[in-house]
Structure 1
């Protein structure tokens, strides 16, 4: 892994099931994440994804690339445009800095209306683990 390396994009279809399941899994019972009518009453065109689901998807994106032995050390994200059902979020990343076995990756998740998430992730990849390489059979 080297500074400047680009991670391959990951397309994530934004479905109602993903939005509601993510909210339930993170115990976020705010109605705007599961009740379309109440979300509209509060000014949103539909339900939308919560930050904890987005955080989990960013973590998945990084560990999918760096492998199952990668350890997330820090995830710092900021939300922008909401993720609504029927859209697709495309995650992209770029290695900004490498210090030994630790990398800092800039992450962007964009959807049809703009930047949904921006942030930085610090990840440690143990020596001998190749980013993007499949795990060896035991």
Structure 2
């Protein structure tokens, strides 16, 4: 791995089930994440994904792309446009720095959906043994 290396894209269908299950799993019971009428009453066209589910998807992206031994040391993300049901989140990343002595990489992450940038951020990931970046993205079977 070296700075500039691109990680394969992870495309995640944004389903109503993913949004609701993510909210419940993270104990986020705000009605805008499970009740379409409440979300519309608050100005959104439908329910939308919470930040903790987005963080989990970013973690999944890193683990799948950097290998099962990868350990997330630091994650900093910023949300942009919402993730609504029926869209697809495309997560991408590029290596921005490599620390050979600490066996760590820094990754710039972007997640785009049909409305624009849903998430941007950086992650520092410790790599226990020299991973190689997969040449083929995995086939997405759902969230």
TM-score normalised by the shorter chain: which range applies? over 0.9
Contact 1:67 1:132 in 2 (8 A): no
- Pairs within 5 Å for 1:105-120: 105-120=107-122
Could you tell me the TM-score, scaled by structure 2's length?
0.90
8 Å Cα contact 2:5-2:95 kept in structure 1: yes
By how many angstroms is 1:23 displaced? Answer: 0.2
Show CA shifts across 1:93-122 (max 9, x none). 000000111000000000000100000011
* Residue segments in structure 1 that go unaligned for 5+ positions in a row: 134-138
Q: CA deviation digits over 1:70-115, x for unaligned, max 9?
A: 0000110000000000000100100000011100000000000010
- Cα contact 1:79–1:117 (8 A) shared by 2: yes
* TM-superposed deviation, 1:127: 2.5
1:88 aligns with 2:91: no
Question: Structure 2: how far apart are the matches of 1:51 and 1:41?
Answer: 21
**Residue aligning to 1:104:** 106
Query: How many residues end up aligned between the 2 structures?
Result: 133
What TM-score, normalized by structure 1, do the two folds share?
A: 0.93
